Homo-oligomer: A and B are copies of this chain.
Amino acid sequence: METELSQRLGIEYPIFGFTPFPAVAAAISQAGGLGVLGAVRYGAADDLARDLDWLDAHTAGRPYGLDVVMPAKKVEGVTVAEIEAMIPEGHRRFVKDTLARHGVPELPVGEQSGWRITGWMEEVARRQLDVAFGHPVKLLANALGSPPPDVIQRAHANGALVAALAGSARHARHHQEAGIDIVVAQGYEAGGHTGEIATMVLTPEVVAAVSPLPVLAAGGIGSGEQVAAGLALGAQGVWLGSIWLTTREAELNSPALTRKLLAAGSGDTVRSRALTGKPARQLRTRWTEAWDDPATPDPLPMPLQGLLVAEAVSRIQTYEVEPLLGTPVGQIVGRLNTERPVRAVFDDLVRGFERAITRVNRIAGREGGRPR
């Protein structure tokens, strides 16, 4: 299983695994894919430095990547306190009332919000990059627009390719003009921030828009047949996030959330602005329903909504308040039915891909059953 891009990155399979957990990223890279560690949950650069050290020690020299969230539009000279002051009182009251209605306890005195919204600030992302470039990061991905030109330059100087997520052909062309190396075409069915064009339509559209730039298909991919479909659509690789959430190596630290993920079907997600202010696919919960109710306040624009709900999300997670407890996840959540090691999930992707190729070859009337 080899594309030009996988050769360039020196990986065995063009399977890219996004995850907030270092142990998952390491296991993906060890299995022959490219583990991409999400940096948004790291507030302090020291924590990231420690986890990248750990990754270096546990990937046996295999390549891995880092995913930062650097908003395309920079907010100049505004402090977090000033941004917080923009949040309407009615919205604060709605958060408070919703938590009270579900009996969500306060955090213990002195306990910090665990959901580190500060990772969304460019300043924080830049400190993370200072740390990252001291490590052999082979892929730098940005989840919100193209990274600034100096960051792209610095990544290239450090031997890393730069990827950016796009929900439309127009976004993808912007990225290409900005000088990035890889476009991740993120379809409607994907977890997290996502547009309205489904992967089946988006992938070939983005491939056509930015060719010869390599494209990764993202959204709705959690099995080998879906890997085959993504590659048939013209992608040079696939980008999977949700499928790792219930692996043994994942550190959700929430038995209740794991239970919900294992029980959820493909229809149990919703694309909602409740979490960050931009539409992001996540488990449908009483929390998203409360925000999506036309009778309640509309979610605020990014980054206000994230700041507004950060503490609430932290309380919901800390006390595992089931009706409100959610996480960004794609429609393939319907496939998350058992807790398994990353390796088992990865091997299934490869085996399923091979089976799918054999099957389409049979349909096409080709030999093709024979590995070279």
Interface residues of A (CB under 8 A from B): 1-3, 14, 168-169, 187-189, 195-202, 204-205, 219-221, 223, 225-226, 228-234, 265-267, 294, 330-332, 334, 353-354, 356-357, 359-361, 363-372
Contacts and interface: CB of A to CB of B under 8 A. Distances in A.
Given A356-B232, A370-B367, A201 B331 contact: yes
19 contacts: A2-B365, A169-B265, A187-B200, A188-B188, A189-B201, A198-B219, A200-B221, A200-B226, A201-B266, A201-B331, A201-B334, A205-B266, A226-B233, A228-B232, A232-B232, A233-B356, A294-B294, A361-B366, A361-B368
A365 B1 CA distance: 6
A230 B231 CA distance: 12
Contact of A232 (B14, B332, B359, B372): B359
Contacts of A230: 200, 229
A369 B366 CA distance: 7
A261 to B, nearest CB: 15
Nearest to A332: B201
B231 A363 contact: yes
Nearest to A236: B363
Contacts of A223: 204
Contacts of A364: 1, 353-354, 357, 371
B267 A197 contact: yes
Given A200-B226, A201-B266, A232 B371 contact: no
Given A232-B359, A367-B368, 11 more contacts: A169-B266, A187-B198, A189-B198, A197-B266, A197-B267, A200-B230, A225-B232, A231-B360, A357-B364, A366-B368, A366-B370
Contacts of A2: 363, 365
Tell me how many chains of this kind the complex includes.
2
A22 to B, nearest CB: 28
A368 B199 CA distance: 26
Contacts of A356: 232-234
B220 A225 contact: no
Contacts of A334: 201, 205
- Best-buried of A188, A356, A360 by chain B (most CB within 10 Å): A360
Contacts of A294: 294
Given A2-B365, A363-B2, A220 B232 contact: no
A360 B363 contact: no
Contacts of A229: 200, 228-230, 232-233
A371 B365 contact: yes
A363 B3 contact: yes
A78 to B, nearest CB: 31
A230 B202 CA distance: 14
A8 to B, nearest CB: 14
Contacts of A365: 1-2, 371-372
B360 A367 contact: no
Contacts of A372: 365-367
Contact of A201 (B168, B205, B220): B220
- Best-buried of A199, A294, A354, A359 by chain B (most CB within 10 Å): A199
